[in-house]
Amino acid sequence: MSLFTRKLAFHIVLPLAAGVAIYIFFRQNTWFHYHFLPPGFHPIVLPRSPLNDVFIFNVPDFCWAYSLASSLFYWGRIDRVRNRFFPVFVLLLIVTAESLQYFFSSRFTFDWIDLTAAILAFLLSFLLNGRHEIA
Amino acid sequence: MKLLKKFIPALIIIAFSFLYIATSKVVPCDDYCRQLYRLDTMVIKNRSYVGYVGSCISGKPKNDTLCISIFNSQGIDWNLFADTVCTYAAQIGMTGQTILVLKYGSPPDTLAKKHCP
């Protein structure tokens, strides 16, 4: 496996898989569980604590945002995107996705911690994968 | 090939959007669901040993059996605890429920079972 493929796996596939795994195995009674998993499926129950809540509810959003930002930065690297506003576009995309939940509150749940986690994920991905795009 | 490359970001965004919607969409919360949330809040308050209050069957929120997962089962009268949960349930209009108090584990141990009036 080439270094590039390993980086793709580490920065895109792994965080995405981790986020989905936390969502499937630790969240309770979600739309995804309701529609895609068998009724007898029992997620793992963690003791109630602020730290566990962050793990269950915010880490998957962080992983999703990190993976999305990384995949766009890697595409930018492959396609030699040299637009200095490209990282701004990626940030706007992530912030918009999180913020849209505020306007569709009957179907989604907006959370400031989710938004913060998504912005932190973008920053981390930018530092690790996206900085050379604005050269 | 060049044209295909232009579609890659769109494909990335569509794939991530699908995953995002699938994992962010919430099950519409009806009256029963709201009652469950209220009961959960009442039972959890000041009881760190309670992990989960809700439907016993994941994905089928509406049924008349409630499961309560317990982490630390020592030193508590679980029948009395189930009575207390029944009282809370009655206060918010949830009658005729069966309360299952379960010690968390695989398989879970039943600590108490109570049919609320």
Distance CA B79, CA B76 (A): 9
Paired with B105 in beta bridges are none
Q: How many Cβ atoms are within 10 Å of A32's Cβ, its own excluded?
A: 19
Candidate from A95-99, A131-135, B28-32, B102-106 with smallest mean pLDDT: A131-135
- The boundaries of the domain holding residue B49 are 31-115
Distance CA B33, CA B44 (A): 16
With beta carbons under 8 A apart, name residues in chain A contacting B58: 28-29, 33, 37, 39-43
A24-55 confidence digits (pLDDT tens): 898 877 778 777 877 667 788 787 788 888 99
Instruction: Tell me which of B116 and A3 has the higher pLDDT.
Output: B116
Q: Taking CB atoms and an 8 Å limit, are B8 and A46 in contact across chains?
A: no
Q: Is the pLDDT of residue A133 over 60?
A: no
The mean per-residue pLDDT over the stretch A67-74 comes to 91
Q: Taking CB atoms and an 8 Å limit, are A109 and B24 in contact across chains?
A: yes
What the block records as the tokens of B12 is 């990335």
Q: For chain A, give every domain's residue range.
A: 3-134
Position B49 in a domain = yes
Distance CA A79, CA A75 (A): 6
Mean pLDDT by 10 residues, chain B (117 residues): 71 84 75 85 86 72 79 84 93 88 80 90
Q: What domain count does chain B have?
A: 1
Position B26 in a domain = no
3-state DSSP percent of chain A in helix, strand and coil, to 5: 75, 0, 25
SS3 assignment, position B42: helix
Integer-rounded Cα Rg, in Å, for chain A is 16
Residue B81: the pLDDT is 93
Q: Is the pLDDT of residue A113 over 50?
A: yes
The DSSP symbol for A85 reads: T
Q: Taking CB atoms and an 8 Å limit, are A23 and B59 in contact across chains?
A: no
Candidate from A69-78, A109-118, B50-59 with smallest mean pLDDT: B50-59
**Chain B residues bordering chain A (beta-carbon distance below 8 Å):** 5, 8-9, 12-13, 16-17, 19-20, 22-28, 44, 48, 50-52, 54-55, 57-61, 69, 71, 104
Position B46 in a domain = yes
Residue A134: pLDDT band (50, 70, 90) is very low
Compute CA distances B95 → A74, B84, B99, whole Å. Answer: 56, 13, 11
